[in-house]
A and B are shown apart, each in its own frame.
Chain A
Amino acid sequence: KAGVTQTPRYLIKTRGQQVTLSCSPISGHRSVSWYQQTPGQGLQFLFEYFSETQRNKGNFPGRFSGRQFSNSRSEMNVSTLELGDSALYLCASSLTSGRASGEQFFGPGTRLTVL
């Protein structure tokens, strides 16, 4: 069974640009969560999507948005990029959402560098 895939793996953008990251969950998984990982802030929860609906959102500005498609693939968009958005963005999938979901499976991440 294929794991969680994220594309692209590496991305370089300049301030003010926007970026879209993609995540394909494990087949059959319907929940996709996004995390930002930086040396200073560690791993921070961005949002979770389940059945094309945003179920929960972390404490990030509105420049960070996402969506989920009917095949459970998810995209994350960051507009008006700032230097501080440079990070490893991790996607995780799980079978369901909520307390019964248990384990999340993580993708390898997309490393975004903002110049």
Chain B
Amino acid sequence: AQSVTQLGSHVSVSEGALVLLRCNYSSSVPPYLFWYVQYPNQGLQLLLKYTSAATLVKGINGFEAEFKKSETSFHLTKPSAHMSDAAEYFCAVSDGNNNDMRFGAGTRLTVKP
């Protein structure tokens, strides 16, 4: 079965600084990988997804993630943080065969002015 580990439950950056949210996965089959963002009192919104095409995936709001099979990682980055990026971010993995997604515990991103 697949699983996801997000390193760091809380990350704090200054506005304009690099955002790096870490995600490592475990999967017995080639995975589908996702990053979602959740704002307070809202559902999850897809930022980007990896589905075995290009290893560098670009998403919405300037975010991107790189699939590194050798490191079993799918870290999320953004070159310059904005105040509006403050939210909780979830990494997820799916083997896709049953649409059973496994989510990480989440990383809460705080952006300081």
Contacts and interface: CB of A to CB of B under 8 A. Distances in A.
Interface of A: 4, 31, 33, 35, 42-45, 48, 50, 55-56, 58, 90, 92, 94, 97-109
Interface of A: prevailing SS: strand
Contacts of B32: 99, 102
Contact of B42 (A92, A97, A108): A108
B98 A98 contact: yes
B100 A108 contact: no
Interface of B: 32, 34, 36, 41-46, 49, 51, 90, 92, 95-106
10 contacts: A4-B43, A42-B106, A43-B106, A50-B99, A92-B44, A97-B99, A98-B96, A104-B46, A106-B45, A109-B42
B97 A99 contact: yes
A97 B94 CA distance: 12
Contacts of A100: 96
Given A42-B105, A45-B100, A48-B99, A108 B43 contact: yes
B80 to A, nearest CB: 26
Contacts of A97: 98-99
A33 B99 contact: yes
